[in-house]
């Protein structure tokens, strides 16, 4: 008997995977970049608008995952209406959206530890893009990668429990420092609201933040990647509820954390000094304890976002392998633990390799990740529109999918049209091209170029109409 994925996830796990896979440590280590792009008004507005624009996509995913509970998600949706190579492309680009986060977190762990232990910045090894890679930082990233891989290898129940604890811990820490920020902050510190003057400057400021929102909001759709691992008796409509709550909670988190930081510390000084969130609070309150609470939240956030993206990426790779779109070995399942062990090991290797690049990853990665997410979301919304003729669909679902398609097109356009401020530079194009070439190599290396035709539905899928209205 062919081993299958273990089933143990509950609604709480689906929420913590959806929310936890979105919220990493950008709010701590990249606050100066966000405020430099948009100022407090532009940053808060960018995340708020981004959250609203993503709601139609989230609602569309809710309908799709309820009808097609498949770890392949975007692959499973697109293979019903597009050729296999297009389905593979949709899945592969979405793997990038998750996989690119994992080495990011492996690099950031050293950044966080250095804020507590200055010795982390000793023993320089080499440089990447002008940034020095230090042995202690690199070792911390590789050890964290090994730990996350081990947790995932042992079973989804362990991954889910780990995700619950770290996500709820972050929310508790956030409640403490955000409350302090709003209670004792000064609205005068928000001036000027935008990084650029005038109405046109406000629009550009907001746009520059909006461009990176897809990267920092990627994760709500990770619920779909774990849909085959739901506990027996799980109510399918709870997939959609977890996705929608994750999007709303994620956008709210980002808006509030930007506001809290800007209220307690002059944002222009923060940008000019490259100051992190915890330092801003420490200086504002004259308390190292407040900074430590923020750092504890950041560490918990790093662990959960690493784990969530690792789970999502490995399930997508597993789904691609199961369909014969790459070498079938990647579609294997561990006979004892019920986990996609080969896909997990591949992801661990890719993450370790990416971690060797260190902090040079941090800002460029957000740009590539935004495009990858936009393309993945676009493929899912277009697939929804095409799975059933309009005459057989329910209007509300089609309207939402149409709005989601427009949002996906806009996200892609912002990154690829040179005239748009903040569009791709040569480094981002090179990274994207390298990933596409790697995918092409996997595609061409599949034995016999894979079986013909669409794959059979995996265990647990249902043949419902994904355009049917769902109770969300």
373-391: pLDDT as tens digits: 889 999 999 999 998 654 4
Higher pLDDT, 244 or 126: 244
The residues, any chain, with a CB within 8 Å of residue 461's CB and separated by 6 or more, are 68, 69, 70, 76
Higher pLDDT, 357 or 235: 235
* Mean per-residue pLDDT, 355-383: 80
Q: Tell me phi and psi for residue 433, to 5 degrees.
A: -65, -40
Least confident of 117-131, 134-148, 193-207: 117-131
| Share above pLDDT 90 across residues of the chain, in percent, rounded to a whole number | 51
Higher pLDDT, 96 or 131: 96
Grade residue 466 by pLDDT with cuts at 50, 70 and 90. Answer: low
What pLDDT shows up at residue 454? 40
Q: CA dist 204 to 41, 52, 141, Å? A: 12, 19, 36
225 has pLDDT over 60: yes
What pLDDT shows up at residue 58? 95
pLDDT tens figures, 438-465: 889 888 887 765 443 344 445 444 445 5
470 has pLDDT over 60: no
What pLDDT shows up at residue 366? 63
pLDDT tens figures, 289-321: 998 999 999 999 999 999 999 999 999 999 999
DSSP 285-334: HT-HHHHHHHHHHHHHHHHHHHHHHHHHHHHHHHHHHHTTSS-GGGG---
Grade residue 88 by pLDDT with cuts at 50, 70 and 90. Answer: very high
Least confident of 164-168, 400-404, 413-417: 413-417
Least confident of 71-80, 151-160, 328-337, 416-425: 416-425
* Mean per-residue pLDDT, 26-50: 92
What pLDDT shows up at residue 456? 44
User: What CATH superfamily classification does 11-449 receive?
Assistant: Amino acid/polyamine transporter I (1.20.1740.10)
What pLDDT shows up at residue 149? 95
323 has pLDDT over 60: yes
What pLDDT shows up at residue 136? 92
Q: Which of 386, 392, 413 is nearest to 60 (CA)?
A: 386
What pLDDT shows up at residue 364? 62
The residues, any chain, with a CB within 8 Å of residue 332's CB and separated by 6 or more, are 318, 321, 340, 341, 342
For the chain, the domains span 11-449
Higher pLDDT, 468 or 147: 147
Q: CA dist 37 to 22, 31, 195, 201, Å? A: 20, 10, 6, 11
b/e burial code for range 384-396 (CB count within 10 A of at least 16 → b): bbebbeeeebeee
Q: Which of 229-243, 346-360, 378-392 has the highest mean pLDDT?
A: 229-243
In the predicted model, what is the mean pLDDT of the chain?
A: 87
What pLDDT shows up at residue 370? 78
Whole-number Å distance between alpha carbons of 172 and 191? 29
Higher pLDDT, 366 or 24: 24
Whole-number Å distance between alpha carbons of 465 and 26? 38
48 has pLDDT over 50: yes
């Amino acid at each position: 008997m062919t081993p299958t994925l273990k089933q143990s996830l509950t609604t709480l796990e689906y929420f913590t995977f959806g929310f936890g896979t979105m919220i990493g440590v950008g709010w701590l280590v990249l606050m100066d970049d966000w405020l430099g792009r948009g100022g407090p008004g532009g940053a808060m507005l960018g995340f708020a608008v981004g959250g609203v624009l993503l709601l139609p996509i989230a609602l569309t995913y809710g309908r799709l995952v309820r009808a097609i509970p498949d770890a392949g998600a975007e692959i499973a949706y697109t293979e019903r209406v597009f050729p296999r190579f297009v389905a593979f492309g949709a899945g592969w680009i979405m793997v990038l959206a998750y996989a690119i986060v994992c080495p990011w977190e492996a690099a950031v762990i050293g950044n966080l530890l250095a804020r507590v232990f200055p010795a982390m910045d000793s023993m320089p090894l080499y440089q990447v893009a002008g940034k020095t890679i230090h042995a202690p930082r690199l070792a911390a990233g590789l050890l964290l990668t090994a730990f996350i891989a081990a947790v995932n290898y042992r079973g989804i129940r362990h991954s889910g429990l780990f995700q619950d604890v770290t996500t709820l811990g972050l929310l508790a820490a956030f409640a403490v420092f955000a409350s302090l920020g709003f209670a004792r902050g000064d609205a005068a510190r928000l001036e000027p609201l935008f990084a650029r003057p005038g109405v046109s400057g406000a629009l550009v400021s907001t746009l520059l933040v909006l461009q990176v929102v897809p990267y920092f909001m990627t994760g709500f759709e990770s619920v779909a990647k774990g849909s085959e691992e739901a506990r027996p008796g799980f109510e399918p409509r709870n997939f959609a509820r977890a996705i929608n709550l994750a999007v709303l909670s994620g956008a709210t988190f980002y808006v509030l954390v930007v506001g809290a930081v800007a209220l307690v510390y002059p944002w222009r000084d923060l940008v000019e000094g490259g100051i992190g969130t915890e330092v801003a609070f420490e200086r504002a309150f004259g308390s190292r304890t407040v900074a430590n609470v923020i750092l504890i939240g950041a560490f918990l956030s790093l662990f959960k976002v690493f784990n969530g993206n690792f789970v999502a990426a490995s399930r997508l790779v597993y789904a691609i392998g199961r369909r014969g779109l790459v070498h079938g070995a990647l579609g294997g399942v561990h006979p004892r633990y019920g986990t996609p062990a080969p896909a997990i090991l591949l992801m661990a290797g890719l993450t370790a390799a990416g971690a060797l690049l260190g902090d040079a990853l941090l800002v460029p990665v957000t740009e590539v990740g935004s495009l990858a997410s936009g393309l993945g979301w676009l493929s899912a919304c277009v697939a929804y529109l095409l799975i059933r003729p309009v005459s057989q669909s329910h209007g509300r679902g089609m309207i939402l999918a149409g709005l989601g398609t427009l949002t996906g097109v806009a996200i892609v356009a912002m990154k690829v049209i040179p005239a748009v401020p903040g569009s791709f530079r040569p480094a981002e194009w090179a990274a994207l091209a390298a990933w596409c070439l790697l995918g092409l190599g996997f595609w061409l290396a599949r034995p016999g170029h894979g079986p013909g035709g669409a794959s059979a539905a995996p265990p647990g899928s249902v043949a419902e109409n994904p355009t049917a209205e769902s109770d969300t």
